Amino acid sequence: MEVTDVRSYVVDADWRNWFFVVVETDEGISGVGEALSGEGLTAALEATMDAHKHYVIGEDPLNRKKINRRMMRYPFAWRGGKLISAIGSAIDIALWDIAGKYYDEPVWKLLGGKVHDEIPVYANGWHIGERTPENYAHHAEKAVKDQEYPALKCDPFAHYEYSLSNAQIEEVAELLEAVRDAVGWDVGIGLDCHGRFSVRGAIQVAEALSEYDIMFLEEPVELEDREAMAEVNRRVSMPVATGERIYNNATMNDVINEGACDIIQPDLTNYGSLAELQHAAEMAKSRYMTFAPHNPNAGVSTAAGLHLCAGIENLEVLEHMSRDVAWGNEVVRHDFEVRDGVIEVPDEPGLGVEFDEEAAKQYPGEPKDSHSLFDEEGALKRP
């Protein structure tokens, strides 16, 4: 079997774009992958994919290690950069999809088997609209009661950074109190700080909000200083999570060995390969840390996450977007459904999804008004 073509698709997803890759073979078997595509970089991903697909075409799709090595190591000047790691991830996921279809087995079985039949998930993207206690409570209740999520993640910090005033702390506390009143105390709440605080500010926030039984504090400070993150981790009572912007095991190893977190969160679609993600999970397990993949992505990434997480012993939880564009299931057809806080691991050959190339063409992604996750004042955008 030989790879004959690699095609990429940029699909509109409201406030962002999705980026998919289809790998075609001479035996009529194709696979689909996905790359992290936030903040207006899909044009750069397209160009990077076009410039590097010659490493894939003509190769045996079942020889993933050779293909991945060529993509990740042969480009010398840009070796292992984030764009290359992202397209490497997309190609790798597509090759696993091909292998599963070729052997008529689900990807989780080819990855080595599973220890979980169901994967626990938490909701991201559940809050939209006004940043008020009433609106937070309304959407939290909807995500928990109507969509059956057992945990929620949010960034309630508006444009605040470095440290918060007492009034700002009180404002954030009112939002979390409204959520707790709406969903009770059995539901997890994760706080995403997006790396915006100083060490002192992160500790201040954690101490002030600990009464709300926070599931994890995500990226309280930037990752460039592992010692700063480790200092926060040592001094707060809630678990610290980080890793979504890490895209190789050399950096993840530093974070783990420094004790900079309790939970690692590598993204499924920018880490280079599922094998590297397995390695990251094993490194974390050796230091008694857990694994909670970053996944604010589309259905292909979620499928890859379910298959990967099925075999991860130290799995914490998988991120899952509670809202999608109306055409999401037209482009990526699947049967995944959150029930009682979990998604069942698929048993269909390959990833268990069907990518509709014609549907993808009907919803082409376009450049967004801003290339940032944040608005002009620094607050997280909310549709």
Residues assigned a catalytic role: 194, 294
Phi, psi values for residue 146, rounded to 5°:
-90, -35
- Return the number of other C-beta atoms located less than 10 Å from residue 73's C-beta: 12
For the CA atoms of 36, 41, 47, 50, what is the dihedral angle to 10 degrees?
20
At 59, list the tokens. Answer: 């190769």
For the CA atoms of 141, 147, 150, 152, what is the dihedral angle to 10 degrees?
-60
> What stretches of the chain adopt beta strand conformation (E)?
3-13, 16-25, 30-35, 118-124, 151-154, 188-192, 214-218, 240-242, 263-264, 290-291, 318-321, 332-333, 342-344, 354-355
Matching residue, tokens 């005033």? 165
At 264, list the tokens. Answer: 């690692």
Alpha helices in 210-273 (DSSP H): 226-235, 249-257
Q: CA neighbours within 13 Å on the CB side: how many for 373? A: 13
- Cβ proximity of 94 and 301 under 8 Å: no
